[in-house]
Structure 1
Amino acid sequence: MFEFILAATARSYFFMRRFMPTAIVIDAINTRRGLKWGVPAMVLAVPYGLAAIYCRAQIDAAGPGWLNVLMLLFLWTALKFVLIGPISLLKLMAVRAREAVARRRMTRALLTDGGERFDEPVLVPRHG
């Protein structure tokens, strides 16, 4: 029974990661090229927050109880988008620091290794 529950949980998790729009956006933001879009993506939390407020208003006006689940889903998604901004900024700073260190090491290695020799001609292939 436990194996069945574990397998169903894993399959639903991977289905959600692959096909749900918010998961796709957050996965795209967590790439190197997408880290700069974390702060603008925080704006996406506003419509989800408004949807949660609307669901709460409907619940207070004797609406159906299943709107509580929808409201929690909207709040959870808004929270994810609010948090992705600062997290992506921290990741971007760490990546840029690592890239700067690698650039300095490469420059230092080229300069100490002799780099280019100016007394030897450089052969460049001709296309034409």
Structure 2
Amino acid sequence: MADPSPVSFFDRPNSYVGRSPTRPNAKRHLAGRGNFVDDIKLPRMLHAAMVRSPYAHAEILSIDVSEAKALPGVVSIITGDDLEGVCKPVVGVLVHLEGLRSPPQMPLAHGRARWQGEPVVAIAAT
């Protein structure tokens, strides 16, 4: 008996590729009445921002956060040095590509920014 032909990605059950699914919240969003995470306001809530490296393969010689810490509303500033010894590097794994792993990576660049846009500093502020 011959193997059944594989089902195309477009013909798989529950595939949205090539289809126009109905969106029950479309009218609300089109009318500007949608609720988003950014709309949530809670007491003592902080916002986080990342400073990202503008360069790939950039050696980080030093980071001076003194001016930023003095700004009103800034609660905390964290660099890769602050995370050293607190966090373990993360290794990304793609389950559909067996054996493929990313190099170990810290949440914030430490010593070297490996790619353009890699987070270097995290800032929490009101």
Q: Output the TM-score relative to the length of structure 2.
A: 0.23
Name the structure where helix makes up a greater proportion of residues.
Answer: 1
Q: Output the TM-score relative to the length of structure 1.
A: 0.23
The structure with the largest alpha-carbon Rg is 1
Higher relative contact order (CA 8 A, sep 6+): 2
